Homo-oligomer: A and B are copies of this chain.
Amino acid sequence: MRYAGWPGRRRVSRVFENEQRSLLSLDAVTLDAGGTRLIRPVTADIPLGARTVVLGPNGAGKSLLLRLCHGLITPTSGRLEWLPGTAKAPPRQAMVFDRPVLLYRSVAANIRYPLEATRVPRREHAERLREALVFAGLEQRARQFAPTLSAGQKQRLALARAWALRPDVLFLDEPTAHLDLAATRDIETMINAIHHKLAGVILTTHDLAQARRIADHVVFVHKGKVIEWGAADSFFDRPRAPEARRFLNGELFE
């Protein structure tokens, strides 16, 4: 990936900022499926303009939590409120899935499609497409059939495609799982560079070093329950919950 900054944007978190600092608040949100409770009542706040990292072992419920926040699944009970206390509409969001969803089309068509479908002004398409191809390092592969890309190329494409929409909030589910070292660094650079211009970046990762490098705020999930949430520094240095301590030591088994 070659994140090299994009034409200046308004600082979104300022735009949304009010007397409060919360981007999204979850109030007793639960989720049931297949006859079991997958998410036990979550009450938490995602801060505005920050990098929130959702941590937890495999199967904890991180991806489900991201989907709930992004509105892909409706909670069984409880409610979510964007920018609580304001009457503002939810900010524009984009999500990159842990298994990127690519259309059965060329790389370029994969980037172009959401630009067209979400009514990005037509005059910007060419430029955004070019930028996204550079970002993904796929300039030479614009016409390749996307399903034939390598694992890392797929993930890069999905990231570049999401960013081409210039969302205010970015959900990233294990965005660097298949990326090489150089691309991983670029993504981190990008997140660090843009997050303060956005309303928020919410991501998951299993790379704890990466989490330390990125996170302003941590949400720690275990067995479908949010066990701990708050500032990143205090979480990493002085985790309160015993599960969190064991998780950080790589000792927590599902």
Residues A151 and B179 in contact, CB atoms below 8 Å apart: no
**What's the dominant secondary structure at chain A's contact region?**
loop
Residues A58 and B180 in contact, CB atoms below 8 Å apart: yes
Q: How many chain A residues have a CB neighbour from B under 8 Å?
A: 41
Flag whether A74 is at the interface (Cβ < 8 A). no
Interface readout for A148-168 with B: 1 if CB under 8 Å, 0 if not? Answer: 111111001000000000000
Residues A150 and B59 in contact, CB atoms below 8 Å apart: yes
**Count of identical protomers in the assembly:** 2
Neighbour of A206 across the interface among B59, B149, B152, B253, CB < 8 A: B152
Neighbour of A34 across the interface among B62, B148, B208, B247, CB < 8 A: B148
Flag whether A79 is at the interface (Cβ < 8 A). no
> Closest residue to A248 on the B side, CB-wise?
B181
Residues A178 and B184 in contact, CB atoms below 8 Å apart: no
> Closest residue to A156 on the B side, CB-wise?
B58
Give Cα A58–Cα B252 distance, bound, in whole angstroms: 31
Residues A178 and B34 in contact, CB atoms below 8 Å apart: no
Query: Chain A interface (Cβ within 8 Å of chain B)?
Result: 2, 33-34, 56-60, 62-63, 98-99, 137, 144-145, 148-153, 156, 173-174, 177-185, 206, 208, 247, 250-254
20 A-B residue pairs with Cβ-Cβ distance under 8 Å, sorted by A, are A57-B180, A58-B137, A58-B152, A58-B156, A58-B183, A59-B153, A60-B150, A99-B99, A137-B254, A151-B174, A151-B177, A174-B177, A177-B177, A177-B178, A180-B252, A181-B208, A182-B252, A182-B253, A184-B250, A185-B250
